[in-house]
Structure 1
Amino acid sequence: MAGTGEEQTVSGYIQHHLTNAAVGEGFWTFHVDTLAWSVGLGLLFLLLFRSVAKSATSGVPGKWQACVELVVEFVDSTVKSTFHGKSAVIAPLSLTIFVWVLLMNLMDLIPVDFLPWIAQQIGAMMGHDPHHVYMKVVPTTDVNMTFALSIGVFLLMIFYSIKIKGFGGFMKELYAHPFNTPWLYWFNFILEFVSLIAKPLSLSLRLFGNLYAGELIFILIAATIGLWQAPIHFIWAAFHLLVIPLQAFIFMMLTIVYLSMAHEDH
């Protein structure tokens, strides 16, 4: 467990690791750690892929270039097989979502005490009580982050639906489907509106729930075993290697599907 100058209970240790470093109050509370790590990982993605784009060669590629090309081809083939509209935005958007979410998920493999302990030492040097220095390093274990991602996808769905079908066509999908009769327009609207709102909710909560559960197990391992956590940590991390890319892929895949549906003009 991370040292705090006093003995911690297991529940207190877990609660400490599940608390975000926050500023502000009420609705205007900002989770500084989530913002910093998500923005930093996004910039890392841009810098790494830009470096490959600038130094790419048509000859025998280096290992990093081959890795990037593999990811790009994988995302491109997924978009071509799933997206049935015409848009120059969907493929770059899908690549960004997949790699960004993957990088944020990969933070889950860092031992849970390592970065928070560093933050506590920095806080102590600045005169703060280490016990009140918080650091959550996995942005996707913060429901605010996953909701922000899903709301962005939701706004794109609305935008493309209105752009392709017109506002009247978009509204007609809500009230005239599946029963195209005026007597059931109210019933159709309830069904379709619930279905529409469920998309960003399920998109965000699925990613949050899976990563939060995985992080919680890492914390439980550290809280109950302490310094002897390494062997079990790596066993769970090996299993988690399947969850991390899978959740990034599912988020990307559902984004492509939802935007493909928005481009369908009935």
Structure 2
Amino acid sequence: MSESTNSGGLNEYISHHLTHNTINVFGGQFHLDSWLVALVLGLIFVAWFAFYARKATAGVPGKGQAFVELVFEFIDGQVKDTFHGDRRSITPLALTIFMWVVFMNTMDLIPLDLPGWLVQTIAGEETAHHTYMRIVPTADLNTTFGLSFGVFFILIGHALAAKGGLGFGKELLTAPFHAHGFMAIVLAPVNLAMNIIEWLVKPVSLGMRLFGNMYGGELVFMLIAGLMASWITMAPGIVANAAWAIFHILIILLQAFIFMILTVVYIAGARESH
């Protein structure tokens, strides 16, 4: 049973858990909690996979190496089916995106009050009450947009590498309405506007889709926590929490897969000509 739910009501409880731990950076609010958790999880992924990559053997692999190889082969298979070119740089990117997003999404399964309980245990109840910590980076729009616009710049890089600066610029002005002579000049602004919209929709949709699903899942956990504020609704709350957690595992994996596979699809499209 949550003490904060009892003392301040469900609205205050949810408001507290939706508040980021921020610092001022160049006059703006920087979400320190999202950045720190995402960084730590990214480093854990790199250290984990690098460890088994270095000690990999040609013989019968251990359980850890077998799992890493299974994940790598799954991602490589998905990339092979989607991207018909040299995938030596694409598969590592897809693997990093998938595992990093899975790690960040999985933080939603950690009990809401665990960080607060740890702070209370170490620093005291008063400190815990005034400490904010959101531990699901992908429930923060800054994180998902950071990831998606990172992908956006990677797409630009692939388009330039495949078509060159002049070829990419020409495509922006001549597609999708191909014309000749005077009409080509007339339609160039229209083509440019449509291409800019098409390019910007990709990162926006990537970021919003991941954020919406994870923010919604986080909010459901908070609402279910309200059932545990009373002994009468404690049992239904536990059942609902367990059921939602099991279902949410599917969302965690599916959203990571969608983000990864759409990135590969967008890269393949960026390297192709209209």
Pairwise TM-score range, normalised by the shorter structure: over 0.9
Q: Is the 8 A contact 2:104 2:136 kept in 1?
A: yes
Q: SS in structure 2 opposite 1:23?
A: strand
CA contact 2:4–2:13 (8 Å) conserved in 1: no
Structural RMSD (CA)? 2.0
Q: Which residue of 1 aligns with 2:197?
A: 194
Distance 1:103 1:203 in 2: 17
CA distance in 1, matches of 2:6, 2:76: 53
Deviations 1:38-72 (A, max 9, x none): 11111111111122112223222222221111100
Q: Quick check: 1:177 aligned with 2:175? A: yes
Residue of structure 2 in register with 1:252 after alignment: 260
Alignment of 1:44-123 (within 5 A): 44-123=44-123
Alpha-carbon distance in 1 for matches of 2:19, 2:63: 39
Which stretches in structure 1 are left out of the alignment for 5+ residues? none
Select between 251-260 and 47-56 the one with higher mean Cα deviation.
47-56
Amino acid at match of 1:145: T
Q: Deviations over 1:188-243 (max 9, x none)?
A: 22221111110000000000000100010001101232373433211101111111
2:24 corresponds to: 24
* Equivalent residues in 2 for 1:176-255, closer than 5 Å: 176-181=174-179, 182=184, 183-226=186-229, 228=234, 229-255=237-263
Residue 156 of structure 2: SS of its match in structure 1? helix
Cα deviation for residue 138 of structure 1 reads: 0.7
Contact 2:104 / 2:138 at 8 angstroms: preserved in 1? yes
Residues 79, 90 of structure 1: 8 Å contact kept: yes
Which residue does 2:145 correspond to in 1? 147
TM-score of the superposed pair, with normalisation by structure 2:
0.89
Aligned counterpart, 2:154: 156
Indicate how the Cα distance of structure 1 residues 87 and 76 shifts in structure 2: closer, same or farther if over 3 A, else same.
closer
Please state if 1:264 is matched with 2:261. no
SS at match of 1:20: coil
Corresponding letter in the other structure for 2:172 = L
Preserved contact between residue 4 and residue 130 of structure 1 (Cα < 8 Å): no
In 1, are the aligned partners of 2:5 and 2:12 still within 8 Å (CA)? no
Amino acid at match of 1:97: I
Q: Secondary structure at the match of 1:29?
A: strand
For the residues of structure 1 that align with 2:215 and 2:27, how far apart are their CA atoms?
22
Report deviation, 1:256: 0.5
Could you tell which deviates more after superposition, 96-105 or 109-118? Answer: 109-118
Q: Is the 8 A contact 1:22 1:30 kept in 2?
A: yes
- Gap regions ≥5 residues in structure 2: none
